[in-house]
Each structure stands twice: as C-alpha cells, then as structure tokens.
Chains A and B, each alone.
Chain A
C-alpha cells in the first residue's frame, strides 16, 4: 500500500473506530444510502439541523430546525490520520452547534483532505488568518468521571458516523 488518499482514508477510519466512532469509505451510491438509513434510525426529521431557541437565528444549511434535533450532518474540512481526528472550520455555512448538540452526528469527509499529521494539514490548508473556531473531533463525547467507568455522550454526540468520500 502506498500513501495515497485511499490508504490514508482507511487508516484514518481505523483510528476513528478505535476511539469509539463508526464509519465507512463511500465509493458508491449504495453505501451512501446505507449510511442515510443509519441516520434515519430516528423516524422524525433526522435531517434537521439544530436551532437553539431564539439565541441562534441561523441560517442553517439544511431543512427545518428544532431545538431538539436528534441528528446532525456536518462536513469536515480535513482529517488527521495520526490521531483519527476530523477538522471542522467554523463559518457562515458551517455553524459549530451542528456537530455538537445532536446525540447522533454524521460527518462527511472528502478523502483528498486527509493528512498524516496535523502540521501537514496546516501546510496544505492555510489558516492565516484563522477562522473563529477550528474544532478537532476524535470520536464520541466521553467521560471517566464516574468511578472510571467510560460514559459516552456526556455533553456532545454519543454516536458519530464518518463517511469518507473516496471518489471525487
């Protein structure tokens, strides 16, 4: 195996899964449909993006909004193989809360945006000037504060699914 996009995608996914996330590489439409079915485990309007009271007026990129959206869909701007991390840049079309408030979040990541290390990703994707928030995400929210027993989904999402798009 070389160090091409496909190999990186595979190794990133392995690291992501080791940290409690799930996911798949998506070379075909069928795989994408499978993932969407996973997302629709919540029957009601799983595609909604969260909106929080009147505090956050939007605009949200997709669908109707409710304060208790069960799932979110967020595009990742990058991936880091070494730590199994996604990189999300905040911006007008990419609110921070979408990947944070719902219990289940589907992340979409183009394979060509994956780097071996964080520093390598920075070298390709200029962060000068940096956006207001660069968020790295590595698996589900977790805590060991109750007798060292792993708790999942303490504040952030408890289930995270990563689709790496390998054909683009």
Chain B
C-alpha cells in the first residue's frame, strides 16, 4: 500500500489496467441504473425517500429505543455500540460465550468500518467472507475496492490463480467453473459455521426487524444455517416501519446495480420460532454509533441519509480513474470523502479526501437520496485544517486574480515558461508552481481530458 492518499492516487492513475477495469464496471453499473430508472417516477420517489430518511435521522434517539424494545420483545439481543471498539468487544464476548471458532460473513460496510474480521482473526477465529467478490478479496489479502462490487479490480486470471491455491488443483477459467468452485467450497463453511455475521440495509423500529438484500444468497445462508446470527448496522439505517423500509428497497437495488429488486430480500425478526427447523437460535444486533450522532443537527446531517448504494462512486470522475483502494479509507468515492472526515477525523490522511473531487456534481445527481455531496465536500475544504502550501497558493491566487494586468502578465509568463522550459517548470521551479504543474498541463481545461 502507498503511504499517503496523494501517492496512492498517483500510483492508481498510472495503473491503466486498473483504470480500464474500474471504468468498464462503473459504466455498466451506471448504464444499468439509467435503464432501471426509466419508466419510474424518479424525482418523486427520490424526494419521498429523502423526506423519510431525513425525518428518521432527526428522530434517531427515539428509533433506537423503539427498535431495542421491540427487537428484545422478539428475543433479539440488542447492543448499542458508542465506538468501534465497543462493538468489537461485544462481538468478541459473543464468540467467547459460544466458544465459536468459525464464522461466515456477508458483505457489510459497518463490519469493514470496525475491522471486525481482522479483530476476530487475531483472536484465532476463522472468519470467511461469503460474498463472492469479498471472498476473492480475502484470498488476495486486499480490502474491497467498491462497496457493491468489491473485486472490481481483479481479473479472471487472478481469481483463477487464487481459487487454484485453495483447491490445490488446476481449475478452468470460465465463470461457471470458478463460481461453482466457490459454491462448493463456501457451502462447507456455511454448514460448519458457529456464527453468521451480516450487515443490514434497514432496521425497522416498529417490529425490531432487519431488512437485508443479497443477489447470491449468502445472506440467506448465513441467517439460516449457523446457530447464531450477529448483525452489525450503523444507527442511521433505522427507519420507523415496514413501509419506510420498502421505500429504501425500491431505490437501493435500482441505484446500486440497476435491478428493480435484488434476487433475495430477507426480513428477519428475532430467532427461529417454536417448531421451526432452521434459522438461528440466537440473534444479536449491534447498533453502531461511532460518531454518527454528532452529525445530527449539523450541516453534515444529510450524510446520514446515505443508503450505501454506491451510485456516486460509479459516476465520479476521480473514483473512476483511481478505483477504491487509493482513497485509503473504509468508504471510497464521493460519499466516503464526505463522510469519512466527519465521522473519523483522526484517521491519517482522511483530511485530504475532500480534495479528491472535481466538484462536478455528478454524485449529487446520481444519489437516490439527493445528498448535496459536492456542497458537503466544499464545506469540508472550508472547515478542515489546510497545509501551508495550500494557504499560500490560495493567497497568491487571490492576489493575482484580483489584478487584471498582473493576471494577464502571469498567463503570458507561464505560457512562455511552459513552452520554452517545460522540464524546469516541472522539476526546478518554485515549489508551488512545481506542485501544480507536476500533474497538470496548460491550458487548464486539458486536465479534464487527462487521466
């Protein structure tokens, strides 16, 4: 991994294969989204979802209490985790109680946020990612690079090699063979797991119900076979009732993959009922705060309306160029750049992310909740501490740009210097000039064409 977001982004830009793979996938997802939204009253649905989510975020303390009460009434154990560490400790406790050694896990941004798998592995437990893309990333020892399509950056050949190492024999590289291997191998894990770990796409306060979507069926497997189910969800996923969750369901798959609905939607309330042959005997829900409540009532509040669909990633010129890893954060793309610095300001390098944006606003247009992501990034640029170079550069810009004659002279001079001594400008000129032109050409508009 590269040391800073700046370096990581520079490396990612140079990696053309990665760029092509990311652009191909994000194009496909964005096109799918366009199709799925055709014949659908998008502005009305979007406005309705935004209204519902905004109201839910503002009454979060009430929803948390109601969810806890109703879920407990159905036999679910609910834990409100103030910090990532609290969540991890609680889950460790559950593993300890059951002397659990083996767990199967579904894709979940909340578990990524608390680095749950790494913590449990340190304790000696085997935690297998069951989403095909996450499983590929786990075998490769890499974090996911897209919140919906985690292995966007891996080629078929790489996947074939990773699977062959697990299988211990050669495998053909066609999709049915590779997917079939994963099915057989992971099924064994499901059948022997002590605990199934999932996220949740919505938590319904009225009945203490979880709504979880999946296309592969791994969420169903993990909530049907193991005797214990642990769900980890951010508190902002709470909604008042089933109708509100249905609103989320109408826009989430449409925005994420362009599907009208995912193959499976699970609405889970408590452990298995009397006389039922399957389903977990014990269910834990970890409601993760980890900084979220501090956003309520601030100008960043709308970030809590995010339903984690990934649509903003797919249309972002920066994400499409560098992919997810270069952000060096749990959530990449515009939403990650806007949410990360607010929720986890102490994470090294995270304050640079709001600058990884062209402020083109494509993210806001794509967002099914209409979050003003470009404004949010701009406000962060205003609020976050800036390094000395940036302050100097802005000061210089202000001085030059407010004096027409100086401005014109400066442009002539710059043009002359770049034409005559381009090498000097890029490597030897004063630091501010050098930094600017190390990644940009003249005239400025060319930079938008450049990858």
Contacts and interface: CB of A to CB of B under 8 A. Distances in A.
Contact of B178 (A84, A135, A146): A146
Contacts of A96: 220, 224, 278-279
Interface stretch (B58-66, B129-137, B343-351, B438-446): B129-137
Contacts of B278: 52, 56, 95-97
B422 interface: no
A129 B352 CA distance: 48
A138 B263 contact: yes
A146 B209 CA distance: 32
Contacts, number: 176
A82 B215 contact: no
B395 interface: no
B216 interface: yes
Interface string A130-151: 1111111111111111111111
Contacts of B215: 141-143, 154
Given A90-B276, A122-B242, A155-B130, A130 B267 contact: yes
A156 interface: yes
Contacts of B359: none
A44 interface: no
A92 B279 CA distance: 11
Interface in B66-82: 74
B4 interface: no
Contact of A91 (B131, B266, B273): B273
Contacts of B183: 153-155
Contacts of A52: 191, 225, 278
Contact of B216 (A55, A84, A137, A156): A156
Interface string B258-275: 001111111111111111
Nearest to A58: B277
Given A83-B260, A136-B265, A151 B217 contact: no
A119 interface: yes
Interface in B185-228: 186-187, 190-191, 207, 209, 215-218, 220-221, 223-225, 227
A132 B155 contact: no
B140 interface: no
Given A97-B224, A148-B149, 12 more contacts: A82-B260, A90-B279, A91-B275, A95-B276, A129-B207, A135-B220, A138-B261, A143-B216, A145-B132, A145-B136, A154-B215, A154-B218
22 contacts: A55-B191, A56-B278, A60-B277, A91-B273, A95-B278, A96-B224, A129-B269, A130-B209, A132-B269, A132-B270, A132-B272, A133-B279, A135-B220, A136-B266, A141-B215, A141-B263, A142-B216, A143-B216, A145-B136, A146-B136, A149-B156, A152-B179
